[in-house]
Amino acid sequence: MLSKTAHKIFTRPQGPAWMSRALRIEWLAQTAASMLWIASMFAYGITSTGDICQLCAASAWLIANIATLVRTTTP
């Protein structure tokens, strides 16, 4: 059986907590920027190792932004 602390770590926040974080201007702007960066990589083409690195960086940025929505503590 999981302790209360462990249970909090493995459960997604329910209700308005994650939504209030998602609607903050800094989260929306960073997420839009990372998605546009990814889109531009595909629009201009991935032709070199540098392009792959940029795509990985933009994807990591997007994943980090999404991960902030599922954390258990509030900002």
pLDDT digits (tens, 9 = 90+) for 20-55: 888 889 999 999 999 999 999 999 999 999 999 999
pLDDT at 45: 92
Q: Is the pLDDT of residue 6 over 80?
A: no
Mean pLDDT estimate for the chain: 81
0.85 exceeded by pTM = no
CA dist 19 and 63 (Å) reads 17
Of 39, 74, 68, residue with least CA distance to 54: 39
